[in-house]
Structure formats: C-alpha cells, structure tokens
Amino acid sequence: MSSPIDPAASTPQTSGVKPQAPLTAEQKQALAKLHDAATQFEGVFIEMLMNAMQETVPQQTLMGGDNSAEQTWQSMLNDERSQQMAKSGSFGLAQQLESQFRNQVLGDASHEANVDVDKRMQP
C-alpha cells in the first residue's frame, strides 16, 4: 500500500513530469484543509457503513427488547471507531479523494485556504 499524500510536501511529485515550483504557504494550507476534509468524509462514510452493519444484528438485550442506553453507547462507539479508522488511512478513501481534488485545490488556493472544514457533519 502506498503512503498517504503529504499535504505539507513542498513540491508536488508526479512520475514522468518535471517537478513544479515549490508550494506557497497558502497552497500548503489549502492542501492541509483538503486532507482534513477528506479524512472527515472517510470517517463519516465508515460510520455510516458500521451503523448499517449494526442494523443487521438482532437488537435484543438480556432483559429483552430494546435498550436505548445501549444503542446510544453503540452509536458513540461506532463514531469513535470510524474516526480512528479514518485517521489511520487504512481504507484509503481519503487518500483517493486528496489525489482526485489536489489540482483543483491548488488552482484556487486563495479561496480553499479559508474554507472551514472543522464543522462536523453527522451521517
């Protein structure tokens, strides 16, 4: 498996093409925000996947019926697990998104550097 894209890399590397000019501070900031957004997206996707898998498991507890406290705990556990899996890069979805959108982000770095990606989206 290849290593994740380094958003702080000083020069974009592509095979067969001569190296481009070093990245500006604004471009580095825009790439860092792209990395954050892609990682968050991967986390939301994994959480949705885990929640869908959880729905296939019978929901009876020892006392019978549904237990809302257990459902809340399971939802929080799925959220934390999905965020950790996304940060590890083990799925590779964020890496693919970064490579797909890198040129667009670099082309409009002045705008992209100021985008707020810290708003957490819920699935």
* Residues 5, 74: Cα–Cα separation, whole Å: 32
Q: Is 101 among the domain residues?
A: yes
Q: Is 80 among the domain residues?
A: yes
* Residues 35, 48: Cα–Cα separation, whole Å: 20
Judge contact between 46 and 82, C-beta under 8 A.
yes
Q: Is 81 among the domain residues?
A: yes
Please list the alpha-helical segments (H only) found in 1-123. 25-54, 68-88, 93-107, 109-112
Region at 65 (left for phi over 0; alpha for psi -120 to 50; beta for the rest):
left
Q: Is 17 among the domain residues?
A: no
Tens digit of each residue's pLDDT (9 = 90 or more) over 46-55: 999 999 998 8
Query: Based on the structure, what is the number of domains in the chain?
Result: 1
Q: Is 110 among the domain residues?
A: yes
91 is written with which tokens? Answer: 């799925």
Rg over alpha carbons for the chain, rounded to the nearest Å, is: 19
In this prediction, residue 2 has a pLDDT band, given cuts at 50, 70 and 90, of very low
Q: Is 90 among the domain residues?
A: yes
**117 pLDDT more than 80:** no
Q: Is 123 among the domain residues?
A: yes
Tens digit of each residue's pLDDT (9 = 90 or more) over 67-93: 788 888 888 999 999 999 999 988 899
Phi, then psi, of 65 in degrees rounded to 5:
75, -175
Judge contact between 85 and 10, C-beta under 8 A.
no
| Burial of residue 86 (number of CB atoms within 10 Å: 0-12, 13-18, 19+) | buried
What number of residues does the chain have? 123
In this prediction, residue 119 has a pLDDT band, given cuts at 50, 70 and 90, of low
**Which residues span the domain enclosing 118?**
75-123
Q: Is 28 among the domain residues?
A: no
Predicted pLDDT at 88: 93
In this prediction, residue 1 has a pLDDT band, given cuts at 50, 70 and 90, of very low
